Amino acid sequence: MNSFGRNFRVTTWGESHGVGIGAVIDGCPAGLPLSAEDIQVELDLRKPGQSDLTTPRKESDTVEILSGVFQGTTTGTPISLLIRNRDVRSSDYETLKEIYRPGHADFTFQQKYGIRDHRGSGRASGRETACRVAAGAVAKKLLARQGMVVLAFVRQIGTVSLDPEILDTLAPAARSLSLDEAASLRQTIFNSTVRCPHEETARAMIETVRGVAEQDDSVGGIIEVRAYGLPAGLGEPVFGKLDACLAGSLLSIGAVKGIEFGEGFRLAALKGSQANDPFKEEEGRVVPAANRAGGVLGGISSGAPLNFRVVIKPTASIKKPQDTVNMRGEKTVLSVEGRHDPCIAVRVVSVIEHMTNLVLVDLFFSQILSTLNKNKTF
Amino acid sequence: MNSFGRNFRVTTWGESHGVGIGAVIDGCPAGLPLSAEDIQVELDLRKPGQSDLTTPRKESDTVEILSGVFQGTTTGTPISLLIRNRDVRSSDYETLKEIYRPGHADFTFQQKYGIRDHRGSGRASGRETACRVAAGAVAKKLLARQGMVVLAFVRQIGTVSLDPEILDTLAPAARSLSLDEAASLRQTIFNSTVRCPHEETARAMIETVRGVAEQDDSVGGIIEVRAYGLPAGLGEPVFGKLDACLAGSLLSIGAVKGIEFGEGFRLAALKGSQANDPFKEEEGRVVPAANRAGGVLGGISSGAPLNFRVVIKPTASIKKPQDTVNMRGEKTVLSVEGRHDPCIAVRVVSVIEHMTNLVLVDLFFSQILSTLNKNKTF
Amino acid sequence: MNSFGRNFRVTTWGESHGVGIGAVIDGCPAGLPLSAEDIQVELDLRKPGQSDLTTPRKESDTVEILSGVFQGTTTGTPISLLIRNRDVRSSDYETLKEIYRPGHADFTFQQKYGIRDHRGSGRASGRETACRVAAGAVAKKLLARQGMVVLAFVRQIGTVSLDPEILDTLAPAARSLSLDEAASLRQTIFNSTVRCPHEETARAMIETVRGVAEQDDSVGGIIEVRAYGLPAGLGEPVFGKLDACLAGSLLSIGAVKGIEFGEGFRLAALKGSQANDPFKEEEGRVVPAANRAGGVLGGISSGAPLNFRVVIKPTASIKKPQDTVNMRGEKTVLSVEGRHDPCIAVRVVSVIEHMTNLVLVDLFFSQILSTLNKNKTF
Amino acid sequence: MNSFGRNFRVTTWGESHGVGIGAVIDGCPAGLPLSAEDIQVELDLRKPGQSDLTTPRKESDTVEILSGVFQGTTTGTPISLLIRNRDVRSSDYETLKEIYRPGHADFTFQQKYGIRDHRGSGRASGRETACRVAAGAVAKKLLARQGMVVLAFVRQIGTVSLDPEILDTLAPAARSLSLDEAASLRQTIFNSTVRCPHEETARAMIETVRGVAEQDDSVGGIIEVRAYGLPAGLGEPVFGKLDACLAGSLLSIGAVKGIEFGEGFRLAALKGSQANDPFKEEEGRVVPAANRAGGVLGGISSGAPLNFRVVIKPTASIKKPQDTVNMRGEKTVLSVEGRHDPCIAVRVVSVIEHMTNLVLVDLFFSQILSTLNKNKTF
């Protein structure tokens, strides 16, 4: 279905070349100051055309709040958000009407529904993720009240990877950042054309992207998330584990093909004595040392920074000619013209950040209901 | 919450050292022949004590069907399954009552709920996964009627990894296996002490496990899934994508710390022209060549084999002494005595297989409702 | 929350004097021909200003389909419907800003949320039901494919009630109507100013409504539903019973204060031998005689016509002066000016019909998944 | 499906003549003292055989807590409750195997599933409601912490009805009872053989029940609920209205055929000026006078006592011979032997009370999440 979350529930709708796309947020508490501008600033960080490394499509992505806000404050009723589609050059897609583009959902939608809106991938378009950013912007405001902040950035493009030790000086895995430090780091990230907070690495990444673009090709990447200020206790045992909810939500982003927490796939080769985080006492609080677990133990946040990585596949749409077939099974050669990002990972950073916001706020609300006799104010 | 699935909904309950554990299946159609024996054979493949490489705990794991089956056939009403706890040596855990074990959920449960059942990890115990195997056994029978079969096996333990080319001769990624071939391969997998279908590799893995066991330590691993017979069309656009549902459900298994589909994390370094699967025509059907996508496109099954890997962390309970703290924050050294698997990946294979069954049957039922005018018989 | 249904899921949003109201339908199968006109005709039957007996407000209620339909056919993706608010004379409500209107939700919204949109009841406005009519219009098309049709009409206004024997000649409780007969009866209902299919009774009802209107007052009523063509088997045992789903959905309409099925409250005074419907054989099929149960047995449709009644309270907004208090607890006398229906039951008929459509289509989809080996085409 | 509630979620399972019945409660906060005895006392008020007016069946209905409670306190994990079936005289039902009993779900289950457990109505048995009482007992403890208490009692049997003015002296509709007064009234109710708090009326009701029992027949009734101590604010706008949730849950009890709130069906004949509750100021608080609305305005509790009535059909199983058909459509005469209640309304009182508890606790938890900046402790 097209809804996400249990307490802070988001329903998205819309196709890339229809009238528009939108989201309905159900479960936002009354009393939160909210304006279209709060959402617009986040959408602007996702929108195409911000540099020569992204598609020059002009998606202005202007959001309207249609309901749920009265005199600048949420009322507790559903918040309906609308983003009209403007730069819809559907004719670009007319030639693709009968062709199954490699790496795209054309074929599987056709098989599933017996019909598909072929214009710009329809519902399967990455454009849908703008709705998640819009809803995530509201979640972000709620999290900020609790001192939580999520940072997402590009960790790897092609074979260029941000060195783990440098990274740890910028966004530590085992100790917290203050909200100010986090805000400043986020600024650095979004000032970077490739959303990488380390300038030298960013330069090498840019070179890689320019290189594949010149070959009419595209390239993959890895996005890392480090989130600070989470209390211990977020996540539900069994099916609603924090890592399970994150994995389920992040793999629902089209280009994401894998996720790993903390040490991730390296754990296969480690011993228990190397992988376990011993606990230690720090300023009167118990905390896990090292944080190889990525801030989650038994599916519940440990109070250490949340840390995970997702892999982003290379943009499927490339100008380089590819063999494929059409709807009648006839061989054809496809060169996708249009206007596409040579490395979609760059634009997905903002989506990853906001999907994480959505998961955290939803589990935070669950956590409020998990015990009696505890201070529940929020 | 403790429920999973929308159409074929499973709710699990129970702690490792309470009266028992169980599952309620809601949404199993009427008319399926079902006996406790059908479920028991699957539980027996997960239960401990099957070799010197797993814990010698005697969890007989005998399942009782309490409802939903009449005269050997499901009635459409909830199927309640009960597995009583028998070999409950809670006293083993008395010394752990106040200690936060590294790598375990003791600390996070205490933080979340202000109370925890410290006996054998309580609700956080891997024992809960027996309920998923039990429910998965019912899902498996439903899938078999549709010609779908899921195979899970150990791909890597420590640094010993099954060679991809050998693997592809056994369980091909880009072409289907017949149900007979798949059944025979499954037999080979479960005949292996380490659930690896290639004998020579299995021997090296066994050596690795024995090695860490002798050091009172444990080791991680990677489990791979290849599933055959899936029609194109399983999975819902946006939040109910096939890969999203699998990721969400598999990360809800305690020891799993990452998942990747098809080429997975290797995609970061690939170009679009290398990563895309061109379509081809084969025996009158359109199919993706190569299947680097792992059988999923835009979150919907492509008809090619489903293929993904999960990483399993080393067993957290080790005899080797570890530094940690108790509930008062005082330093202590912990040597977990008890009876534990040196490589939990081996026993998780069966859990991974059955969680995959649960996801597939749930999405298959959704798929039935996705179009009008299509043959919907099942 | 603001969603309804499990398989055919409708989320509504919007306030009466905000930008607009809308609905998102998730779960409509692909392949249904659908146009805005299909929905508009149903909205037009609910809209105000159709006679001198309803409010003269000009709610043009024009619906736009924003997504989910491509080239005149549903695609299986969410259908987003938007109805802009046009005739918004919010200033009418300025004087009500601080007053708790008797019979309205002003006070309870204020208590619940600490904030409320006071313009025209905000989210609590009956205007929200236009969204249910719009979604119900889609459900109606799906039901028609299965030969199901729902008829709702005014049974009583004030003390004027349609005689049960006359009613049974028009809309029989114990035998089916053909689709043609039902369509013709529906025409008669909506041709009536008070939505009552018996002319003489309708005349007396009209007189009653005019009478209270002249007194600056309002009056209540009873709406009856008789639905034809339902197969036996709709409804889920226990919490998803057909009557439970209908009761839950119909009481969610603001003005509805009660519901009864078949003999309803009369059953209190009946004996079992008088209340039970014996089964009989009719043209090779088993059917309940008499149908005192209203077409539901054990929460599942019996194949006999569905039959129930809901009571509609008098319109709360009346010009007649009423004592009440303002937000500071100070006494005041209120005369609601504005533009209000003297008998809201008349306009609710269409809402009741379409909420019933929504329930039936949702349970019909569940029913498809209830057994194996049965003909499931739809 | 077989689950109820969103935050405090109850899943029930089991057939009347299978191994047992049970419930899983998901969402009970940690920290609530809970014992099997707490639940048993409530079950004992529902169990049969308490007087000569109820079935002499010996359902001992002994509850076991299988999980979720540790050392006398809830842990936040699912609470699994088991009630084994003991007095299962399935042979009584052998003769009914092929007969469709009037007023029962035999026919509709057979039509829906193509199979049914014919022993004692299987899943459709009223025995399932014991699970709701068991879960409701936990909800009741949570509500008591908030000062809320639900009272249900028999208002009418046959034509004997408790006078509204007498009733209002016992359980007032427009002003609150203290917890002590409510506890004492509850005692009076359950001391009465027919669960009616007024002795003289109770005597007349008993006579009515004895009269129909002597005729091998049964009789219907009306149960009334008055609940005290509810804060203003319970219930969600639109689909989760307090009255909608109550209607949906109470109609899911097999014998219930209607529900009405406050003035209920009488509202059809009233004018707005007669039906509206003016607000007044009382001890510094705003309250609705009169409370004709039954404590709900716009679907949200007003702070006045909650008040509604449900109608209970006569017990379907009667010894008096009835015409019906068997599964082959052949006419037959049925005299239900077995052991049945002549007026099931009497035993349903406890079920109504506890379903109401379940609804209130669920909406109370939602209410906690509805605003920011409010005192949320519970």
ipTM rounded to 2 decimals: 0.97
Of A42, A57, A195, A41, which Cα lies nearest the Cα of A133? A42
Of B231, B211, B197, B243, which Cα lies nearest the Cα of B371? B231
Query: Which chain B residue is nearest to residue D12, measuring alpha carbons?
Result: B78
Q: Minimal Cα–Cα distance from B49 to chain A, Å?
A: 21
**What is the predicted pLDDT for the residue at D339?**
73
Which residue among C14, C67, C78 places its CB closest to the CB of A66? Answer: C14
Between chains, do C102 and D277 touch, taking CB under 8 Å as contact?
yes
**What is the predicted pLDDT for the residue at A53?**
77
Give the integer Cα–Cα distance in Å for A2 and A15. Answer: 13
Of A47-61, A281-295, B99-113, D191-205, minimum mean pLDDT range: A47-61
Of A116, A66, A65, A121, which Cα lies nearest the Cα of A92? A121
Sort out which chain C residues have CB atoms less than 8 A from D104's CB and list them: 297-298
Sort out which chain B residues have CB atoms less than 8 A from C369's CB and list them: 7, 27, 29, 365, 368-369
Give the integer Cα–Cα distance in Å for B354 and B35. Answer: 17
- Cβ contacts of residue A287 below 8 Å, gap of 6+? A279, A280, A281, A302, A303, A304
What band does D94 get if pLDDT is binned at 50, 70 and 90? Answer: confident
Helices and strands in chain C: count of H runs, count of E runs:
9, 18
Query: Which chain C residue is nearest to residue A1, measuring alpha carbons?
Result: C26
Give the length of chain A.
378
Does residue C376 surpass a pLDDT of 70? Answer: no
Which residue among C237, C365, C371 places its CB closest to the CB of B369? Answer: C365
Higher pLDDT, A339 or D65: D65
Give the integer Cα–Cα distance in Å for A365 and D220. Answer: 44
Between chains, do D67 and B14 touch, taking CB under 8 Å as contact?
yes
**What is the predicted pLDDT for the residue at D378?**
63
Give the integer Cα–Cα distance in Å for D323 and C278. Answer: 6
Q: What does the pLDDT average to over D140-148?
A: 96
Point out which residues pair with C367 in neighbouring strands: none
Alpha-carbon dihedral sign for residues D336, D342, D347, D351: positive
One pLDDT digit (tens) per residue for chain A, 378 residues: 899 999 999 999 999 999 999 999 999 999 999 999 999 999 999 988 777 777 766 667 999 999 999 999 999 999 999 999 986 666 667 788 899 999 999 999 999 999 999 888 899 999 999 999 999 999 999 999 999 999 999 999 999 999 999 999 999 999 999 999 999 999 999 999 999 999 999 999 999 999 999 999 999 999 999 999 999 999 999 999 999 999 999 999 999 999 999 999 999 999 999 999 999 998 889 989 889 999 999 999 999 999 999 999 999 999 999 999 999 999 999 998 877 899 999 999 999 999 999 999 999 999 999 998 655 556
Q: Return the percentage of chain A with pLDDT > 70, whole number.
A: 96
Does residue D375 surpass a pLDDT of 60? Answer: no
Tokens representing C116? 């409320």
Residue the block writes with tokens 């039922």 = B365
Sort out which chain D residues have CB atoms less than 8 A from A32's CB and list them: 372
Give the integer Cα–Cα distance in Å for A305 and A227. Answer: 6
Residues D283-301: pLDDT tens digits? Answer: 889 989 889 999 999 999 9
Q: What's chain B look like in SS3?
A: CCEECCCCEEEEEECCCCCEEEEEEECCCECCECCHHHHHHHHHHHCCCCCCCCCCCCCCCCEEECCCEECCEECCCCEEEEEECCCCCHHHHHHHCCECCCCCCHHHHHHHHCCCCCHHHHHHCHHHHHHHHHHHHHHHHHHHHCCCEEEEEEEEECCEECCHHHHHHHCCCCCCCCHHHHHHHHHHHHHCCCCCCCHHHHHHHHHHHHHHHHCCCCECEEEEEEEECCCCCCCCCHHHCHHHHHHHHHCCCCCEEEEEECCHHHHHHCEHHHHCCCEEEECCEEEECCCCCCCEECCEECCCCEEEEEEECCCCCCCCCEEEEECCCCEEEECCCCCCCCCCHHHHHHHHHHHHHHHHHHHHHHHHCCECCCCCCC
Give the integer Cα–Cα distance in Å for C83 and C93. Answer: 21
Between chains, do A158 and B280 touch, taking CB under 8 Å as contact?
no
Query: Chains with 3 or more CB pairs closer than 8 angstroms to D?
Result: A, B, C
Higher pLDDT, C325 or B339: C325
One-letter amino acid for residue A230 of the chain? L
Contact of A247 with B248, CB cutoff 8 Å: yes
Contact of A373 with D30, CB cutoff 8 Å: no
* DSSP label of C315: P
Between chains, do C239 and D268 touch, taking CB under 8 Å as contact?
no
Residue the block writes with tokens 């690795």 = B208
**What is the predicted pLDDT for the residue at A96?**
83
Q: What does the pLDDT average to over B315-325?
A: 95
Between chains, do A372 and D237 touch, taking CB under 8 Å as contact?
no
D270 touches chain B (CB under 8 A): no
Give the integer Cα–Cα distance in Å for B173 and B295. Answer: 9
Contact of B99 with B324, CB cutoff 8 Å: yes
Point out which residues pair with A326 in neighbouring strands: A99
**What is the predicted pLDDT for the residue at B92?**
67
Give the integer Cα–Cα distance in Å for D370 and C113. Answer: 7
pTM value? 0.97
Sort out which chain A residues have CB atoms less than 8 A from D76's CB and list them: 370-371
User: Could you tell me the CA-to-CA distances from D244 to A351, B31, C254 in Å, in that order?
Assistant: 37, 34, 9
Q: Minimal Cα–Cα distance from A72 to chain D, Å?
A: 15
Q: Between residues 341 and 370 of chain B, which touch chain D (CB distance below 8 Å)?
A: none
- Label residue A64 exposed, middle or buried (CB < 10 Å: 0-12, 13-18, 19+): middle
A158 touches chain B (CB under 8 A): yes
**What is the predicted pLDDT for the residue at C378?**
63
Point out which residues pair with C23 in neighbouring strands: C12, C81
Give the integer Cα–Cα distance in Å for B158 and D215. Answer: 79
**Cβ–Cβ pairs < 8 A, chains A and D:** 56
Does residue D377 surpass a pLDDT of 60? Answer: no
Q: Minimal Cα–Cα distance from C174 to chain B, Å?
A: 29
A116 touches chain B (CB under 8 A): no
**What is the predicted pLDDT for the residue at D90?**
63
What band does B222 get if pLDDT is binned at 50, 70 and 90? Answer: very high
Query: Which chain D residue is nearest to residue A28, measuring alpha carbons?
Result: D370
DSSP H helices in C122-223: 129-145, 164-170, 179-191, 199-214
- D242-250 and C242-250 are packed helices; what angle lies between their axes, rounded to 10 degrees? 170
Contact of A349 with A357, CB cutoff 8 Å: no
Give the integer Cα–Cα distance in Å for B109 and A43. Answer: 37
Give the integer Cα–Cα distance in Å for C218 and B144. Answer: 62
**What is the predicted pLDDT for the residue at B47?**
86
Of the CA atoms within 13 Å of residue B106, those in its CB half-sphere come to: 25
Residue the block writes with tokens 């009354």 = A30
- In order, the DSSP letters of A15-27 are -TTSSEEEEEEE-
Residue the block writes with tokens 């030639």 = A95
**What is the predicted pLDDT for the residue at A276?**
96
- Label residue C95 exposed, middle or buried (CB < 10 Å: 0-12, 13-18, 19+): exposed
Does residue B164 surpass a pLDDT of 90? Answer: yes
Between chains, do D11 and B26 touch, taking CB under 8 Å as contact?
yes
Q: What's C56-103 look like in SS3?
A: CCCCCCCEEECCCEECCEECCCCEEEEEECCCCCHHHHHHHCCECCCC
Residues B34-74: pLDDT tens digits? Answer: 999 999 999 999 988 777 777 766 667 999 999 999 999 99
Does residue C52 surpass a pLDDT of 90? Answer: no
Which residue among D267, D271, D371 places its CB closest to the CB of C257? Answer: D267
Helices and strands in chain A: count of H runs, count of E runs:
9, 18
Give the integer Cα–Cα distance in Å for B361 and B343. Answer: 29
Give the integer Cα–Cα distance in Å for D264 and D257. Answer: 14
Tokens representing C290? 């008499």
- Cβ contacts of residue B271 below 8 Å, gap of 6+? A212, A215, A217, A218, A219, A220, A314
Which residue among D107, D271, D312 places its CB closest to the CB of C279? Answer: D107
Q: Between residues 187 and 246 of chain A, which touch chain B (CB distance below 8 Å)?
A: 212, 215, 217-222, 231-233, 235-241, 243-246
B156 touches chain A (CB under 8 A): yes
**What is the predicted pLDDT for the residue at B356?**
98
Does residue C60 surpass a pLDDT of 70? Answer: yes
Sort out which chain A residues have CB atoms less than 8 A from D377's CB and list them: 375-377
**What is the predicted pLDDT for the residue at B88?**
61
Sort out which chain B residues have CB atoms less than 8 A from A297's CB and list them: 103-105, 107-108
What band does B156 get if pLDDT is binned at 50, 70 and 90? Answer: very high
D6 touches chain B (CB under 8 A): no
Between chains, do D1 and B9 touch, taking CB under 8 Å as contact?
yes
Contact of A257 with B262, CB cutoff 8 Å: yes
C31 touches chain B (CB under 8 A): yes
Give the integer Cα–Cα distance in Å for C125 and C252. Answer: 12
B108 touches chain D (CB under 8 A): no
Interface-testing mutation among C369, C371, C374, with chain B (most B C-beta atoms within 10 A): C369
Sort out which chain D residues have CB atoms less than 8 A from C303's CB and list them: 111
